[in-house]
Amino acid sequence: MTVQLGDTAPDFTQDSTEGPISLHAYLGDSWGVLFSHPADFTPVCTTELGAVARLKGEFDKRNVKVLGLSVDPLESHNVWAADIKETQGCALNFPLIADKDRTVSDLYGMIHPNANDTLTVRSVFIIGPDKKVKLTLTYPASTGRNFQEILRVIDSLQLTAKHKVATPADWQQGDDCIIVPAVTNEQAKTLFPGGFTEVKPYLRTVKQPGS
C-alpha cells in the first residue's frame, strides 16, 4: 500500500517498547511522527534513535508524539535500547514499535522490495491532529536522517495550520513567511495587521506570525 499526502494515516494496533499502541488513540489531539529504520543493532539506526531521543523536548514543545519502528521483535528492541543508552548519551524515551508480523510496514509501504525485500527502509510520516498525512519521506539505509529538518517541517506545517502562511526555501525560525495564495489582499490586511509586502501579486511576504 502507498500512503500519500492528505490520506488518513492508517490506524493499527501493534506491540512497542512502551506496550501495545493503537495509533489514532495514542496520538489523540497531538501531531505524530512515525519513522521506520531497517534493523536493530545497526550503526546508522543506533545514531538516529539517539538523535531523536535527545530531541524529545523539542518534539514535546510542539505537541508531537514520536514513534520509531522496525520489523525486529520486542525482545530485540529491549536489548538494543541498552546499547542506545550506553552509546548515544540518552536513553530511548519514545515507543519503538516491534512490527514483527509487518502489519504496519505493509500498511504504510515501508518495505521497498527492490531496496531490500525483508527490511523496512528509512520512511518518515508526519501526521496532523486530524490524522491526515502531512509529509512522507524515504531515505536509503546508508543515510541517517536530519531530524532538525523534521522539526523545521513541523514548524512550517503548524504555522500554516494556525496562521495561513507558507514558508520559503531554506526558511528557519524567525525568517519572513509567505501568505498562502488562498488569502486575498483584503483578508491579509485583517490577518496581518502589522502589514505585509507585495513583491508580486502572487508573492507576498509577512513577518513570522507569533514570533
Contacts to ligand BEZ by CB under 6 A: 38-39, 42-45, 141-142
In eight-state DSSP terms, residue 9 is P
Whether 202 contacts 179, CB under 8 Å: no
Please say which residue, 99 or 133, places its beta carbon nearer to ligand BEZ. 99
Which residue among 3, 23, 34, 45 is the active-site one?
Answer: 45
Phi, psi of 203 (to 5 degrees): -130, 95
Q: Let me know if 177 is a catalytic residue.
A: no
In the complex with ligand BEZ, the residue whose CB is nearer, 10 or 38, is 38
Residue 129, φ and ψ in degrees, nearest 5: -60, -20
Task: Classify strands 165-166 and 177-179 as parallel, antiparallel or unpaired.
Answer: antiparallel
Q: How far apart are CA 191 and CA 195, in angstroms?
A: 9
Closest distance of CB 101 from ligand BEZ, Å: 21
Nearer to ligand BEZ, 45 or 151 (CB): 45
- CA 210 from chain centre, in angstroms, equals 22
Catalytic residues: 45
